Amino acid sequence: MHFRARSLGCLLFVALAFVMGGTSLWAFKEFVAPHPESADMYPSKDAHPNEKVTAAVDLYNAAPKDEIFGTNYVQNGILPVLLIITNTGDQPILMTKMHAQLVTASRSKLEALEVDDVFRRVAHIKASSTTPPRVGPIPLPTGAKNKKAQEQYQELTKAIFIAEAVEPHTTKSGFLFFDIQNIKSPVVGAHIYLTGIRDGTGNELMYFEIPMIASNAANP
């Protein structure tokens, strides 16, 4: 009798919490960006001692690391990669013209995606063949999916690498996203190439070639 009363009380509590909180029990997980170490501390890196810049990457394609996201990107054919840039020099380096490309062991060349490209995939938004592409933010879905879509878009804008410069003796980080749908073995033997990074006077640095080491991550 007491057990039945306790069970009924627990059920009533859960039901009441759900009603009062709406969908709070199923809320989209808030994204908190990982705090980066110096790029020299990561196994997947390329250091340029003469230019005093090191670039590193860290895979976030498996638990527990990918649990910082509310969206399961790998299930949607997207590979999230944390990019870390450390500048130990006395002058800033400029990132506004940086170009990132993932080259797989089979020589497939994958360009880093823009926020809208990733969002279309994870929110399952299909472009219309009769409507020209929009310039600027794409429209969010309406109806029940609207709130989740907004939260997915906000997560992406917080996560993606957007640093315009890396100041002297600092480290900046953010995520690159690559479309790995239908790509066999996108991680093992792959490299990420960074070009277009410039010093404070506008001179382009030597390109970075960063091996993808799948430590603490799984090959999708």
Residues 6+ apart with CB under 8 A from 77: 121, 179, 180, 181, 182
Dist. CA 181–CA 206, nearest whole Å: 30
> Tell me, what amino acid is at 201?
T
Determine how many CB atoms are found less than 10 A away from the CB of residue 53: 22
Domain residue extents for the chain: 1-29, 31-211
pTM for this predicted structure:
0.80
Per-residue model confidence as pLDDT tens for the chain (220 residues): 443 444 444 444 434 333 444 444 446 788 999 999 999 999 999 999 999 999 999 999 999 999 999 999 999 999 999 999 999 999 999 999 999 999 999 999 999 999 999 999 998 886 544 444 443 455 555 555 578 889 999 999 999 999 999 999 999 999 999 999 999 889 999 999 999 999 999 999 999 999 998 654 444 3
96 token code pair: 């506004």
Residue 61, phi then psi, degrees to nearest 5: -110, 10
Report pLDDT for 148.
86
Under 8 Å between Cβ of 84 and 56: yes
Q: What's the token pair of residue 154?
A: 């906000």
How many Cα atoms within 13 Å fall on the side-chain side of residue 25?
Answer: 10
Q: What is the pLDDT of residue 45?
A: 97
